[in-house]
């Protein structure tokens, strides 16, 4: 049945509406996981290992147990056994079932490392839950101290003395043994992908490049560290959790304790950034629940900044070799992209760095391959644009090198090899406006004025360089549910079990619901963040706008339809007997135009003053097998480099992205700005350093782990190419959280080469690398 129409009015969707939760955040009214005042609450602090490999022979807790305020000290020797704790040893994480499974882009649905829905789902990790005495990395949780105050718990944790049987760790990834190829399964797919004859294509090339690009270990460092409050109520568990996936935490903790999932409720109304590190549960959630059950009181555990390095993941190191061959006119004849990355001794995590290479450019001969080495570090995980951020650095740097070898403009080279359909699957794009992105960003940047020769442009004593790169990220959508209720006073209440991780979900979903119901955004109350709401995917892989957005749009549309049907079937309604298709909605009023119509308030008052409710569950359909779904963009960067000191400045970045319908112009712009800022950090600053003797994370704080500050960032000019994509989602959105970082590091590296003539192929681009 067709849905009732809306009268013409300025739509809420797309407008730069202020955040509906903004006042709560700036006044302290928004409560994050660690901020709930729970009666009788006590505090826990993790004890972590100081060696990278071995066994815990003994833990002397006697002094700690006698310390002031201490209630309990848990160790591998006295911790309760958890019936569903995973067995130790390397595991390939698998995706959660149900709505956590995410479709799109034609990815393989096989099992294996990271499972069938790795980006939109939260993997089943192998957490360290005090179930054995094995130490697998430096910083691993090996104990938990519970005390009446945080200060007492910290002091007692320092009093625990640990004796180890130390073994020699594997920390040098160049000497680490490779995991057998048959055990490497990125994103649930195959280790190797081939089409055509790559060797023949390279041999036939008039011009070729073949280089290796390296990206380092990196860590997320969200402003809010990971935090959990666990409270038992009989045999039921309530968790206040800093997470990107409330249902993933619920399901995993329930499994660890042998409980039915509906016995665990997870609440996360606000999360202070996650960027992938909070995409799924780690050790601390179940350890907090364990402690709370042992002491019979609610327990709060807040990780220290140092504990954000190791126990909750990071981006692994990659070494990527890219070979490109082309004819004299720039037509690609072959692409080979091999990536080797690090993983832990706990999980077989593969950084999917070659994903974009298989589809970004039209080329008949393409080969990609993954290799994996195991080292004694914490398990890697999703980190903003996992795979594409690292992979576009390698691929787009190589494309720039090929452009120089061909004496061809880098934009022209990309347009020469523009893929009009997905070259991997042969499917048409659900939408693609990359060509327009190139045109928009290049024009605003002034690319036509670029001098091709390196070191040819100066601003005073500074060397000036211009670089560009392509951005891309898959458009995915997962199964999601929502409930909507029209209240007698004309306000609407909409709920969906998603997460607010700083992207503006409260606001954008309010706008979607308002337009679908034909009422002002101020009349909508949108709620999220609890597992007693309809299930939605984890907020990873840029799936929320498409997944939750579709659910909210569809449930609000269904509710509006119910109300229209109620009116046209009511003899007392001015709309009685009118065709459903003829009814429009505007400002809380059902009308056929003119004076004929009535308000939602009048309609409900005549029907007993009771709310009307609709519930819906949505999921992707056959379109995921009919179209290739991706977002695209272009990044143009200017750098200044001091010719003597090699200091690098980034005075401006110009971007254009095609990411489906923009739900909120202000928050969408903020997402791209955030991605670009992170891309600057990735290119020039970020690297996690590990002591090669002990495996200790050396720079595990914000003083030594360098991220961009205001002084590092110049002008960021953001533009969008509007392309509502109803194949991806009923709201037309593709998602925007990840694509902003992709291509940025390569664009900066390419600009540094243009400025200096020095090609730096290892991130971060430091002074000594430019001077060497």
Please give the DSSP secondary-structure letter assigned to residue 218: B
Q: Please list, residue by residue across 345-357, b when 16 or more beta carbons sit within 10 angstroms of its beta carbon and e when fewer do.
A: bbbbbbbbbbbbb
CB 138 within 8 A of CB 695: yes
3-class DSSP string for 272-305: CCCCCCCCCCCCHHHHHHHHHHHHCCCEEEECCC
Closest CA to 629 of 547, 686, 690: 547
Q: What is the DSSP pairing of strand 524-527 with strand 492-495?
A: parallel
The beta-strand segments (E) located in 349-488 are 366-374, 458-459, 462-474, 477-478, 480-486
Q: Is 738 a catalytic residue?
A: yes
DSSP 605-658: HHTTT--EEEEEEE---THHHHSB-EEEEEEEEEEEE-TTT--EEEEEEEEEEE
> In whole angstroms, what is the distance from residue 75 CA to residue 85 CA?
15
> In whole angstroms, what is the distance from residue 292 CA to residue 253 CA?
13
> In whole angstroms, what is the distance from residue 571 CA to residue 4 CA?
19
The beta-strand segments (E) located in 192-255 are 192-195, 207-215, 227-233, 236-241
- CA torsion sign for 212, 216, 217, 219 is negative
> In whole angstroms, what is the distance from residue 747 CA to residue 760 CA?
12
CB 286 within 8 A of CB 299: no
Annotated active-site residue in 319, 424, 687, 738? 738
Closest CA to 418 of 400, 404, 432: 432
Cα distances from 404 to residues 231, 390, 398, 413, 757, in angstroms, run 61, 22, 10, 10, 11
> In whole angstroms, what is the distance from residue 600 CA to residue 555 CA?
17
Q: What is the DSSP pairing of strand 264-267 with strand 648-658?
A: unpaired
Closest CA to 381 of 471, 477, 275, 502: 275
DSSP 528-591: --BTTSPB---S-TT-HHHHHHHHHHHHHHHHHHHHHHHHHT-TTSTTTT--GGG-EEETTEEE
CB 333 within 8 A of CB 327: yes
Backbone φ and ψ for 75, nearest 5 degrees, come out as: -140, 175
Active site residues: 738
């Amino acid at each position: 049945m067709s849905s009732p129409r809306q009268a013409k009015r300025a739509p809420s969707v797309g407008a730069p509406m202020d955040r509906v939760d903004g006042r709560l955040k700036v006044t302290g009214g928004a409560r994050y996981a660690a901020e709930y005042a729970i009666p009788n609450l006590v505090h826990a602090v993790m004890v972590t290992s100081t060696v990278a490999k071995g066994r815990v022979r003994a833990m002397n807790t006697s002094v700690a147990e006698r310390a002031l305020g201490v209630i309990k000290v848990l160790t591998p020797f006295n911790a309760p056994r958890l019936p569903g704790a995973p067995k130790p040893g390397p595991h390939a994480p698998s995706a959660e079932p149900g709505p956590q499974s995410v479709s799109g882009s034609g990815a393989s649905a096989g099992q294996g490392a990271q499972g069938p829905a790795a980006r939109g789902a939260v993997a089943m990790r192998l957490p360290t839950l005090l179930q054995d005495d094995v130490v697998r990395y430096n910083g691993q949780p090996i104990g938990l101290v519970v005390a009446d105050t945080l200060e007492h718990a910290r002091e007692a944790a320092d009093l625990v003395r640990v004796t180890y049987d130390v073994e020699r760790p594997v920390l040098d990834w160049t000497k680490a043994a490779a995991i057998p190829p048959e055990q490497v399964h990125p994103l649930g797919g195959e280790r190797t992908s081939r089409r055509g004859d790559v060797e023949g294509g390279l041999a036939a090339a008039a011009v070729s490049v073949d280089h290796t690009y390296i990206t380092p270990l990196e860590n997320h460092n969200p402003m809010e560290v990971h935090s959990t409050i666990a409270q038992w109520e009989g045999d039921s568990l309530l968790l206040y959790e800093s997470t990107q996936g409330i249902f993933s935490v619920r399901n995993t903790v329930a499994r660890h304790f042998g409980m039915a999932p509906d016995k665990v409720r997870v609440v996360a109304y606000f999360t202070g950034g996650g960027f992938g590190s909070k995409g799924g549960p780690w050790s601390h959630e179940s350890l907090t629940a364990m402690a709370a059950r042992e002491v019979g009181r609610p327990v709060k555990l807040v990780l220290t900044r140092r504990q954000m390095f190791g126990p909750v993941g990071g981006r692994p190191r990659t070494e990527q070799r890219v070979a490109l061959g082309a004819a004299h006119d720039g037509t690609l004849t072959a692409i080979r992209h091999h990536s080797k990355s690090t993983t832990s001794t706990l999980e077989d995590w593969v950084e999917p760095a070659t994903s974009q290479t298989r589809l970004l450019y039209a080329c008949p001969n393409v080969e990609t391959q993954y290799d994996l080495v195991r080292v004694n570090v914490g398990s890697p995980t999703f980190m903003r644009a996992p795979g594409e951020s690292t992979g576009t650095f390698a691929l787009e740097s190589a494309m720039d090198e090929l452009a120089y070898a061909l004496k061809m403009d880098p934009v022209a080279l990309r347009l020469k090899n523009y893929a009009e359909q997905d070259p991997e699957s042969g499917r048409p794009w659900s939408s693609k406006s990359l060509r327009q992105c190139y045109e928009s960003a290049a024009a605003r940047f002034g690319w036509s004025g670029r001098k091709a020769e390196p070191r040819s442009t100066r601003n005073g004593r500074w060397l000036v360089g211009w670089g560009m790169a392509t951005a891309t990220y898959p458009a995915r959508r997962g199964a999601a549910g929502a409930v909507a209720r029209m209240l007698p006073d004309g306000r609407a209440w909409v709920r969906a079990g998603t997460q607010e991780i700083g992207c503006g979900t409260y606001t954008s979903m309010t706008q979607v619901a308002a337009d679908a119901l034909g009422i002002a955004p101020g009349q909508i109350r949108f709620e999220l963040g609890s597992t007693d709401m309809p299930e939605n995917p984890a907020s990873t892989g840029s799936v929320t706008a498409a997944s939750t957005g579709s659910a909210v749009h569809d449930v609000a549309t269904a509710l509006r339809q119910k109300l229209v049907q109620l009116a046209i079937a009511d003899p007392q309604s001015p709309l009685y007997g009118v065709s459903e298709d003829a009814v429009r909605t505007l400002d809380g009023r059902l009308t056929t135009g003119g004076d004929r119509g009535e308000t939602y308030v009048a309609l409900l008052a005549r029907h007993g003053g009771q709310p009307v409710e609709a519930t819906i569950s949505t999921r992707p359909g056959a379109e995921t097998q009919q179209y290739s779904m991706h977002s695209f963009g272009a990044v143009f960067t200017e750098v200044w480099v001091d010719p003597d000191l090699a200091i690098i400045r980034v005075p401006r970045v110009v971007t254009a992205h095609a990411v489906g319908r923009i739900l909120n112009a202000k928050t969408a712009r903020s997402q791209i700005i955030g991605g670009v800022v992170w891309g600057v950090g990735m290119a020039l600053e970020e690297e996690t350093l590990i002591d090669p003797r002990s495996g200790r994370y050396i720079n595990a704080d914000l003083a030594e782990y360098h991220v961009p500050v205001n002084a590092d960032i110049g002008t960021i000019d953001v533009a969008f190419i509007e392309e509502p994509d109803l194949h991806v989602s009923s709201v037309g959105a593709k998602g925007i959280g990840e694509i902003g970082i992709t291509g940025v590091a390569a664009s900066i590296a390419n600009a540094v080469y243009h400025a200096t003539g020095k090609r730096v192929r290892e991130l971060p681009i430091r002074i000594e690398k430019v001077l060497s």
